[in-house]
Amino acid sequence: MRSFRKNLNQSPIEYLISYRLNEAKKLLRSSELPITEICYECGFSDSSYFGKAFRKAYGLSPREYRSHNK
């Protein structure tokens, strides 16, 4: 874990969440899937946590992000 943090400046969990949120952004822009479905497709098991993590990372809820990027 130290090596991972040293090289990527984040923990493995932080990296995984960041990767999943980035994939969610792609799906929000390019598909009409419901947000809950995108949440599950990207590996989140709790849509509430997904919304909180997304807002923390990007400053918008998934719904707001989708409406601004269509």
Distance of alpha carbon 66 from its chain centroid, rounded? 13
Two structure tokens written together for 2: 């130290």
pLDDT band at 54 (very low <50, low <70, confident <90, very high): very high
CATH 1.20.1630.10 fits 17-68, yes or no: no
pTM: 0.91
Other beta carbons within 10 angstroms of residue 24's beta carbon come to: 24
In single-letter form, the type of residue at position 51 comes to G
- Residues 65 and 47: beta-carbon distance below 8 Å: no
Q: How many CA atoms lie within 13 A of 40 on its CB side?
A: 4
61 phi and psi angles, rounded to 5 deg:
-75, 160
More confident residue, 5 or 23: 23
Kindly list the domain boundaries of the chain, sorted by start residue.
17-68
